[in-house]
Amino acid sequence: MESKGLGDTIEAITTATGIKAVVDAVAAITKKDCGCAKRKEALNAAFPYNK
């Protein structure tokens, strides 16, 4: 998948380093949304990669 912007790049890095798995586990335990999807979309909108 090609990154649309900064949000996609940050998601790829956190997935590769295992941070996303930890955040997802904590979110499941606390039953609260981490807000990752909204943050990713906001960052993609603010910092898009125009090719």
Mean pLDDT of each 10-residue bin along the chain, 51 residues long:
92 97 96 95 96 67
Task: Report the 10 Å Cβ neighbour count for 34.
Answer: 14
- What is the C-alpha separation between 22 and 14, in angstroms, rounded? 10
Is pTM beyond 0.75? Reply is yes
Look at residue 26 in the predicted model and tell me its pLDDT.
96
Look at residue 1 in the predicted model and tell me its pLDDT.
73
Look at residue 48 in the predicted model and tell me its pLDDT.
97
